[in-house]
Amino acid sequence: MISVLYVDDERFLLEMSKIYLERSGEMYVDITESAGEALAILCNRRYDAVISDYQMPGMDGIEFLKILREKYPALPVIIFTGKTRDEIAITAFENGADFYIRKGGEPKAQFAELTHKIRKSVEHYRAKQELEDRSIRLRHHIQRSSGLVRILDREGRVVYDSPSTSQILGYPDHFLTGKCAVDFIHPEDRETVATAFGQILDRTNPGTPVRFRFRKADGKYIELESVAMNFIGIHGVDGIVVTTWPAPGRDHTGRQEENCRVLSACRGGSRKSNSGVPPINEVIDTLENAKKDETDLLLTLVGKMHDYN
């Protein structure tokens, strides 16, 4: 159900518009005859969209629009007026109106256009709100995760590091931000990591974990495993998200055999590995099988890291 607040000093038009917009059962419309009353209503109730006339006593539609943009920046606002001057339309758009519709003409066509513009503006509004909500949830999951969650830019520089970096690697908060992650990787492992990073950029990596050694603050190396996903261009992330945990078995000798042993054990179905992190098969399954959009998938993966810690 789409909730709409319609403001106009023409009572007959208000009532007729309410009847037309509500008859499909898709919308619920509250009506009021002044912008001041509308602002009072908005203090106590949320709406998906506001429709406003331009010329009204006390406060006109542009003044009303400016206040709405200050108090409710993302709320869709449609100026619906009988005024035909282009400068009014230009002023409305300059002050943040989503649409400007002129009254007049054949009523059925006019209300069909109004209905379409309401739907379109509300769809955009809800999609934006959902993206913002997901970004908040993502940041919350990252903050809670005791595994390393790192966001890299296209050049491999760190643009975000989760708080657990200081606990696991010993560096102060934000120490790695702006630095190239590969500079801290053991020289023998850099080619492997660079290859995997290139596959992530090209979106050809199937979600296979990469194992490597990373230099800690004390100069010693810790063996880690990472899964990365390309979220470049995704709202609220815009980077390569790398989820990392200490690798099972820290002995650097016989690393290939150890990798095979760990992978084999993980694929055996145990819910939790000896290191207290998600079994690799579950991480891979999360990446390969989730039929969600990319942001939900990231939330699922980071949430899984938290669940196992």
What does the domain layout of the chain look like in residue ranges? 2-132, 145-307
Please check the confidence at residue 300 and state whether its pLDDT lies above 50.
Answer: no
Taking the whole predicted model, whether its pTM rises above 0.85 is answered as: no
Q: Do domains 2-132 and 145-307 have the same CATH topology?
A: no
Please check the confidence at residue 306 and state whether its pLDDT lies above 50.
Answer: no
Superfamily of domain 2-132 in the CATH hierarchy? Response regulator (3.40.50.2300)
**pLDDT at residue number 141:** 60
Mean pLDDT of the chain: 77
Please check the confidence at residue 31 and state whether its pLDDT lies above 70.
Answer: yes
For 7-25, what is each residue's pLDDT tens digit?
998 898 889 889 988 888 8
**pLDDT at residue number 256:** 41
**pLDDT at residue number 118:** 92
**pLDDT at residue number 38:** 94
Indicate the pLDDT class of residue 138, thresholds 50, 70 and 90.
Answer: low
Indicate the pLDDT class of residue 283, thresholds 50, 70 and 90.
Answer: very low
Please check the confidence at residue 222 and state whether its pLDDT lies above 90.
Answer: yes
User: Higher pLDDT residue, 309 or 101?
Assistant: 101
**pLDDT at residue number 254:** 41
Indicate the pLDDT class of residue 186, thresholds 50, 70 and 90.
Answer: very high
Place of tokens 């890299």: 152
Could you confirm whether domain 145-307 is CATH 3.40.1190.10? no
User: Higher pLDDT residue, 27 or 275?
Assistant: 27
User: Higher pLDDT residue, 47 or 81?
Assistant: 47
**pLDDT at residue number 278:** 41
Percentage of residues in the chain having pLDDT higher than 70: 73
**pLDDT at residue number 286:** 40
Q: Residue 258 and residue 247: Cα distance in Å, rounded?
A: 10
Please check the confidence at residue 185 and state whether its pLDDT lies above 90.
Answer: yes
Please check the confidence at residue 270 and state whether its pLDDT lies above 90.
Answer: no
